[in-house]
Structure 1
């Protein structure tokens, strides 16, 4: 019996060691996987024909952050847009201009630490602090209270918007293609890894939105290949607000743009 156990251990041991090495490597790669910040050169930093201005502000720990402000002369809403993990402000100029015009809103988009012209290295606590700092800065610029800001977040930005709403409140939270909890999404893509035990960036939006009872509009592609549709619905079901609205993007993938009829529904939701 002991001989058999010894032979089994000799077979299992190298496999176990190999597995632990893979887990260690993936742990080291987590920041790169969660925050694949594009190169600065990929963005159009001097777009012509768009009325916007540079804004600079500091996160709570002094990290210098950069964004773009798209002002409306008579805004009905003040919107902070938190972009996805593979984007920069310079990738979103047309979208911000559209939001400004279709919603009659002043809109600000910003880059998290380590993205674009913002300095530092991204991690959950820092990125969340960046979102909160952006909300405070925009409120000060617009002359309103932070809880009068509409927080809009896509993908990773949904996690940032949820965290900011839990901390400062919001006029409304608008979520696009986002997760219930990042760890659960990672577990779908890496079922062979103990992500729930070792993952540092967790972004538990379900837990965070438990502290927010304002309006929520959530949209998601029915064919999203990155964040499963069922996980997005789990987040929506957890929202305790009396005023929440779900919007399907039929056959939409993770990076499928919102359909044209989304914007009138968004405006109607915000104007209520």
Structure 2
């Protein structure tokens, strides 16, 4: 109860009780934000678009629509872009926004590097069924790998895993799975990605107990620990979504053969703004895998 002291016509409110009220209001607001973050994580992490805005045909690339069924029984949609004489096959796991039709610039770069490419949409993205989730994205990536190896007869030693942003975490998990089944890929390319979702959250909300609130992990640092695969890490200091420090940490803690390429520009345009240096960096890495 608030303490009020009356003196003639004046009312005096104790400063202590005023402070208690302010602290109580602050605590209520803090708790409300924490609850919002907890229940909004799916929308913050996954931002799918259903409509496909373009196809590889519109940039002069031949492709095939494919449908895959993951281990959860969900069918997912992908594009298969075969090269005439591929140096490697790239399994491309994209970021958390949009769908595969928003990655045409990347598909052009990969084609010009002489790569066959399989790009797929996660569950709930584009034409893929289901809902996105940590286990679902893992199952989606494995379904894409299995299609390449079982349906296309692609030698695992000629497959390079490429993950951008959220796709980097999906790729790290797939690499761990494959290493445990003795069918490792030729190498990894991890672009503009993070160590884990809780680490990301701690950067965005440093004043919240994010590690306790996080419903998702995507713990790439743990997944990559001990892997011997050659890996290329790419990140921009000007990344406005995934902190550069997390990308550097992922690279610095990796114990396998590794290379780091510093990009220019923000999170979504870094690979484009880096220009020729980007494609040259990919090319050098691929050349190293072929030696």
Whether contact under 8 Å (1:88, 1:111) holds in the other structure is: yes
Give the deviation of 1:108 after TM superposition: 0.6
Partner residue of 2:69? 58
TM superposition shift of 1:264: 2.5
- Does the 8 Å contact 1:154/1:176 carry over to 2? yes
2-side partners of 1:46 and 1:72: how far apart?
A: 13
Pick aligned residue for 2:217 from 202, 205, 208: 202
Contact 2:56 2:63 in 1 (8 A): no
Greater Rg by CA: 2
Partner in structure 2 of residue 155 of structure 1: 165
Please show how residues 232-247 of structure 1 align to structure 2 within 5 Å: 232-241=247-256, 243-247=257-261
Q: Give the secondary-structure state (helix, strand or coil) at the position aligned to 1:17.
A: helix
Indicate yes or no: 2:283 matched with 1:267: yes
Q: Is the 8 A contact 1:78 1:142 kept in 2?
A: no
Distance 1:9 1:145, change over 3 A: farther
CA distance in 2, matches of 1:156, 1:206: 13
Q: Distance in 1 between matches of 2:22 and 2:244?
A: 40
Show structure 2 runs of 5+ residues with no match: 4-13, 179-183
Residues of 2 paired with 1:24 and 1:228: CA distance?
Answer: 24
Contact kept? 1:179, 1:235, Cα under 8 Å: yes
- Of residues 129-138 and 59-68 in structure 1, the stretch that sits farther from structure 2 once superposed is 129-138
Separation (CA, whole Å) in 2 of partners of 1:147 and 1:10: 65
Alpha-carbon distance in 2 for matches of 1:193, 1:200: 14
Aligned counterpart, 2:141: 131
Q: Does 1:143 align with 2:117?
A: no
Preserved CA contact (<8 Å) 1:70 1:97: no
- Residue of structure 2 equivalent to 1:113: 123
For the pair 1:16 / 2:16, whether they are aligned, the reply is: no
- Summarize deviations over 1:43-101 as a string: whole Å, max 9, x none: 22474332011011011111110010100122110110011111311112342133023
Query: If the length of structure 2 is used for normalisation, what is the TM-score?
Result: 0.84
> Structure 1 residue 98 and structure 2 residue 125: aligned?
no
1:219 partnered with 2:234: yes
Tell me the secondary structure at the aligned position of residue 97 of structure 2. coil
Which residue among 245, 253, 258 is the counterpart of 2:266?
253
RMSD between superposed Cα atoms in Å: 2.1
SS in 1 for 2:96: coil
Q: Could you tell me how far apart the structure 1 residues matched to 2:56 and 2:187 are?
A: 31
Unpaired segments ≥5 residues, structure 1: none
Structure 1 residue 247: deviation in Å?
Answer: 0.4
CA–CA separation in structure 2 for the residues paired with 1:46 and 1:152: 18
| Equivalent residues, number | 266
